[in-house]
Amino acid sequence: MPQKNVTRRLAAILSADVQGYSRLMREDEMATVRTLNTYRGLMTTLIEQHHGRVVDSPGDNILAEFASVVDGVQAAVAIQKELKTQNGRLARHRRMEFRIGMNLGDVIVEDNRIYGDGVNIAARLEAMADPGGICISRTAYDQIEDKLPFAYEYLGEKPVKNISRPVPAYKVMIEPELSQRVRKWTTDHLKKGWNAEAKEFAGTPRTPDVSDRKRLVAVILCLGFGIFGAHRFYAGRTGTAKLMLFTLGGLGIWYLVDSVIVIFGEFRDREGRKVKDWL
């Protein structure tokens, strides 16, 4: 008898399924099937856009393979972002959240289907993922650690059914790592700014006098160059002005607050006097 056409290759395997699929089906079968078909179509399109192919899609599961882990993880992130948008249009109890596992491993290919431990590990990682989240193996992580702008949380070595050794697993933080660093940096500097604000006026005698600085000038400086702290330099508040300059107005948050205060004449100069007179 002729041998079947069986080959082996290294592949990045994506496995995804729906969290709480049985509950969704129990509550409304027709609506669940409609949503699943819509989401499966979106996922297939994104997988193909990232140079992958859907191998199988039994029930609520989707199995796909990629030649590149980078492409696979980018596809997984794109899927979760798109499904999050789609779920935002549904009632909370009808939202369909997928968990995604990604592994780089050796697979057996037979009649365009793939089998083997590489596939099994991807399926087990999927079960470890949060709803709407992505979990990857160390073999996948090693390929993308410095190539994609994401952060990763090490989850430890996880025992995997039918696999002799524990599998080191990582959670993909879908928000870009740079954004997380910027948010933390901005928050820290805003806190410093608020502390500096308090220090500026600590021990400064408040008087009912109105500042000799003019509100019209402060408004123009604030609306035009407030993100750089120009209105604070004008009011003599150089400490917090520099913080605004270095943080670009606290990424706009501090700037927006100041704009309202300046326009309504509640902004104070270095001596604690309100910049109230227009001219």
Q: Over range 234-260, report the average pLDDT.
A: 80
Neighbouring C-beta atoms of residue 187, cutoff 10 Å: 14
Inform me whether the pLDDT recorded for 42 exceeds 90: yes
Q: Which domains does the chain have, with CATH numbers?
A: 6-176 (3.30.70.1230), 203-263 (no CATH)
Inform me whether the pLDDT recorded for 54 exceeds 90: yes
**275 token code pair:** 């910049």
Inform me whether the pLDDT recorded for 188 exceeds 70: no
Predicted structure pTM score = 0.62
Inform me whether the pLDDT recorded for 63 exceeds 50: yes
Phi and psi of 211, rounded to 5°? -65, 150
pLDDT reported for residue 182: 44
pLDDT tens figures, 128-176: 999 999 999 999 999 997 888 888 889 988 887 777 788 899 999 886 5
Inform me whether the pLDDT recorded for 183 exceeds 80: no
As a whole number of angstroms, the distance between CA 62 and CA 25 comes to: 17
pLDDT reported for residue 65: 95
Q: Which helix (H) or strand (E) holds 23?
A: helix 21-27
As a whole number of angstroms, the distance between CA 13 and CA 77 comes to: 14
Q: What residues does 52 pair with on adjacent strands? A: 66
pLDDT reported for residue 272: 76
Asked whether 126 and 101 are in contact (CB, 8 A), the reply is yes
